[in-house]
Amino acid sequence: MIGIIGGTGLSEPSFLTQTAMRQIVTPFSEQKVQIFTGRLHGVELAFLPRHGKGHRVPPHRINYRANLWALHSIGVRSVIGVNAVGGIHAQMGPGCIAVPEQLIDYSWGREHTFFADGLNNVTHIDFTSPYDERLRRLLIENAGAQPLWPHGVYACTQGPRLETAAEVERLRRDGCDMIGMTGMPEAALARELGIDYACLAVSVNWAAGLTQDIITMESIGEVLRTGMGAVLGVIERAVACSAKLREVAE
């Protein structure tokens, strides 16, 4: 099953049909994880709103372990993480979409691994390439008419505040092309569970200090209203393509 983790601007499964809502009990939270299941182009999908119902959970308070464990427990083996980001690279102006190939984690204090307690042996995962290449190619090859940048380094910052101009300059020098707050530990937890994971990032603003403009939630919301439509177009084409590939294989 394919899972979609929706972030800012994508918190409802309106693109699915035959929708049902499930409440999943996990070992990592007293609260159940809400997952919607449904179909898109005949393919069964699971949709999880990363920030919870009503978009109320800030990036540093998201229970990433519970979310990924819940998806895995219902049979999800591939996840597309949708992320709103601030653009640093010239290719990442507001409204642009990217499928990053690398990331740098600047977050801290988050529960970031399943391999912490009760282990028989210390466990490490290979994370050289944090995103699954097969899933990345599926998204890239189904961009359609939508301009899509098939590269980039995602910087995961702590949030919930936005960055200072000096911090953005530091990230630029580090080689980062876009800034988000939710890409980690999500990607690493997926790898620990054996889930293929790719990021579909939509730029909602230029990062701090790159223009004279003040970043506001109103301006971000305006970009999201059109940007998420383009993101869903990529997802729909990718899912339809995966269904065709499955039919050929069968």
pTM of the model: 0.93
Q: What b/e sequence results for 117-147 when a residue is b if at least 16 CB atoms lie within 10 Å of its CB, and e otherwise?
A: eeeeeeeeeeeeebbbeebbebbbebbeeee
What string of DSSP letters covers 216-249?
-HHHHHHHHHHHHHHHHHHHHHHHHHHHHHHHHH
Tokens read off for 163: 């960055």
Full pLDDT tens readout for the chain, 250 residues: 999 999 888 888 889 998 999 999 999 999 999 999 999 988 999 999 999 887 889 999 999 999 999 999 999 999 999 999 999 999 999 999 999 999 999 999 999 999 888 778 888 999 999 999 999 999 999 998 888 999 999 999 999 999 999 999 999 999 999 999 999 999 999 999 999 999 999 999 999 999 988 888 888 888 888 888 999 999 999 999 987 666 544 4
Write down all domains in the chain, each with its CATH number in brackets: 2-108+128-249 (3.40.50.1580)
φ/ψ bin of 158: left (φ > 0), alpha (ψ from -120 to 50), beta (otherwise): alpha
- The residues near 199 (Cβ < 8 Å, ≥ 6 apart) are 80, 81, 82, 83, 99, 100, 103, 131, 154, 183, 187
Q: Which residue blocks in the chain are alpha helix, DSSP H?
A: 64-73, 133-140, 165-174, 186-192, 217-249
Q: CB count, 10 Å around CB of 233?
A: 17
| Identity of the amino acid at 133 | E
Other beta carbons within 10 Å of 30 = 7
